[in-house]
């Protein structure tokens, strides 16, 4: 029942997104704009500040992710469908997992476009170790979205949710962003530092385990007022 | 695990939000076949009481019993027997009526979901528009669809928050007729409403709430005087 409910909610989110293209369009546009602005500011005469590409990539992911998190729950708030989801006869954590999968899918789609763009504008050899990069991106995205999904759900009925979400989210997800940046920077070294990138990847996996476990544990009591 | 009940008992329900008291010592029992109205002015605690009955809000004091089951069983098995129709209709405007119903049927693990969706579309009189997105529907059509959405999994307890709001006379009469039918099938219907004119034909009992307290538990159509008194007390 748990997996079925999570899958049903994820599938619904995909259909709604395919119809509206609201989340992908806004987050992608925002992420691309941020990267282009950073490229104009930081690339002078073809020379780039060291490790800038890694930082810009993860900042764009974090900002775009915040936008996606806010919008995905705004949808559920608009016609009070979140209440209907919470009344489903399944463990409430399944609702969390379904929403988390939707946010992760949107962010991974955005990253598909973001990575080549950052590589191009910052002359960064991001694709030299594709498996490591994919691992870092997937683990980092899950870590960021797992905390964000919990907070966005908690704040859905708060009047100042748009302000509170980043205020709560960024301090807690800073370790994820730092691990993502350092891991990506290790790949971008003249000789890719695979052991260092793997270390940061493992650290991200550990963050994911902790964040997802805590979120699954707390979602039900937090959503029952 | 299957769970069923033929009455719901609220015993001394209290609920506060910070220092504000929303409900205080509310006690009543609803039985199968009844349509119980929650009446009272704005801020009387009607929506809070519905939320407590739905298990989405924990009471600060007192307890709800669903037949022999305490509210501590509140979990998937109990939620399978609860239906909720809020003022916001809990439908996805980007999806068609059929897709909305199918989604909620899957969410509630309804057996034979396709047949169930077809029956719901027929009950909502929306078969001809089943594949149109809900955002293109009128308020009345959405309301009919939302009621069938809330009934897809055959809940025992149906909770309705202002179901008549925004409906024209014909749509309201159709809704009233459907509610009477559902009650005759043995559902327990608890409905918060301001629409006294429509409630008159529907309610088998009225609970009058005033400042979070139960000011009256009135059977039949005798509730109007108690309701008027509650409103005058506010003024």
SS3 B201: helix
Band of pLDDT at residue B231, cut at 50, 70 and 90: low
Distance CA A161, CA A154 (A): 9
pLDDT tens digit sequence for B159-169: 999 888 877 88
Q: A90 vs B55: CB contact, 8 Å cut-off?
A: no
**Hey, what long-range contacts does B19-27 have (CB within 8 A, 24 or more apart)?**
B21/B212, B22/B48, B22/B212, B23/B48, B23/B49, B23/B52, B23/B59, B23/B212, B23/B213, B24/B212, B24/B213, B25/B62, B25/B213, B25/B214, B26/B62, B26/B209, B26/B212, B26/B213, B26/B214, B27/B62, B27/B214
Instruction: Using a pLDDT cut of 70, give the percent of chain B over it.
Output: 95
Q: A12 vs B76: CB contact, 8 Å cut-off?
A: no
Cβ–Cβ contact B16 with A under 8 A:
no
pTM for the model stands at 0.88
Contact B203, B35 (CB under 8 A): yes
Point out the least confidently predicted range of A71-75, B29-33, B51-55, B60-64.
A71-75
Q: A1 vs B84: CB contact, 8 Å cut-off?
A: no
Quick one: pLDDT at residue B51?
A: 93
Instruction: Using a pLDDT cut of 90, give the percent of chain B over it.
Output: 56
Question: What is the ipTM, given to two decimal places?
Answer: 0.86
**Hey, what long-range contacts does A130-138 have (CB within 8 A, 24 or more apart)?**
A132/A183, A132/A187, A132/A192, A132/A194, A132/A197, A132/A198, A132/A201, A133/A184, A133/A187, A135/A201, A136/A180, A136/A183, A136/A184, A136/A187, A136/A197, A136/A200, A136/A201, A136/A204, A137/A61, A137/A108, A137/A111, A137/A180, A138/A108
Q: Residue A23: which domain range?
A: 2-223
Quick one: pLDDT at residue B1?
A: 54
Distance CA A105, CA A69 (A): 12
SS3 B35: strand
Q: Any idea what DSSP says for residue B96?
A: B
Write the CB contacts of B42 (distance below 8 Å, at least 6 apart in sequence): none
Domain spanning B7-81+155-234: CATH 3.40.50.1370: no
Q: A225 vs B56: CB contact, 8 Å cut-off?
A: yes
Distance of residue B197 Cα from the nearest chain A Cα, in angstroms: 26
Residue by residue, DSSP assigns A35-101 as: HHHHHHHHEETTEE-TTHHHHHHHHHHHHHHHHHHHHHHHHHHHTTHHHHHHTSSS-HHHHHHHHHH
In chain A, which stretches have pLDDT less than 50? none
Distance CA B117, CA A10 (A): 20
Chain B hits for A8, Cβ within 8 Å: 103, 106-107
């Amino acid at each position: 029942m748990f997996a079925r409910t999570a899958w049903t909610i994820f599938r619904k989110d995909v259909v709604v997104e395919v119809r509206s293209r609201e989340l992908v369009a806004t987050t992608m546009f925002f992420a691309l704009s941020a990267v282009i602005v950073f490229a104009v500011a930081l690339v002078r005469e073809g020379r780039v500040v060291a490790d800038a590409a890694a930082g810009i990539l993860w900042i764009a992911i974090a900002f775009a992710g915040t936008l996606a998190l806010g919008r995905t729950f705004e949808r559920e708030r608009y016609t009070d469908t979140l209440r209907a989801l919470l009344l489903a006869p399944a463990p409430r954590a399944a609702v969390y997992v379904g929403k988390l999968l939707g946010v992760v899918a949107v962010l991974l789609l955005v990253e598909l476009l973001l990575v080549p763009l950052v590589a191009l504008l910052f002359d960064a050899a991001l694709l030299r170790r594709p498996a490591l990069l994919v691992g870092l991106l997937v683990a980092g995205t899950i870590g960021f979205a797992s905390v964000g999904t919990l907070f966005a759900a908690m704040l859905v009925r708060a009047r100042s949710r748009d302000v509170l979400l980043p205020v709560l989210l960024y301090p807690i997800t800073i370790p994820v962003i730092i691990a993502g940046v350092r891991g990506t920077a290790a790949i971008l070294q003249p000789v890719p530092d695979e052991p260092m990138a793997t270390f940061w990847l493992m650290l991200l996996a550990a963050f994911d385990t902790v964040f997802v476990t805590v979120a699954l544990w707390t979602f039900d009591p937090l959503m029952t007022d | 695990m299957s769970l069923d009940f033929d009455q719901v008992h609220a015993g001394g329900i209290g609920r506060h939000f910070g220092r504000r008291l929303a409900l205080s010592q509310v006690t009543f029992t609803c039985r199968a076949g009844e349509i119980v109205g929650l009446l009272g002015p704005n801020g009387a605690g009607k929506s809070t009481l519905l939320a407590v009955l739905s298990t989405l809000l924990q009471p600060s004091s007192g307890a709800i019993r669903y037949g022999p089951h305490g509210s501590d069983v509140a979990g998937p098995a109990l939620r399978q027997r609860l239906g909720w129709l809020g003022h916001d209709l809990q439908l996805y405007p980007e999806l068609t009526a059929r897709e909305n119903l199918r989604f909620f049927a899957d969410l509630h693990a309804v057996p034979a979901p396709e047949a169930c969706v077809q029956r719901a579309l027929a009950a909502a009189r929306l078969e001809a528009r089943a594949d149109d997105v809900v955002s293109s529907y009128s308020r009345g059509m959405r309301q009919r669809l939302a009621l069938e959405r809330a009934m897809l999994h055959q809940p025992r307890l149906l909770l309705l928050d202002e179901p008549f709001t925004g409906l024209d006379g014909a749509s309201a009469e159709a809704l009233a007729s459907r509610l009477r039918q559902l009650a005759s099938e043995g559902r327990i219907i608890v409905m918060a409403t301001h629409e006294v004119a429509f409630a008159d034909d529907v309610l088998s009992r009225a609970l009058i709430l005033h400042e979070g307290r139960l000011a009256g538990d009135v059977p039949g159509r005798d509730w109007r005087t108690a309701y008027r008194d509650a409103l005058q007390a506010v003024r």
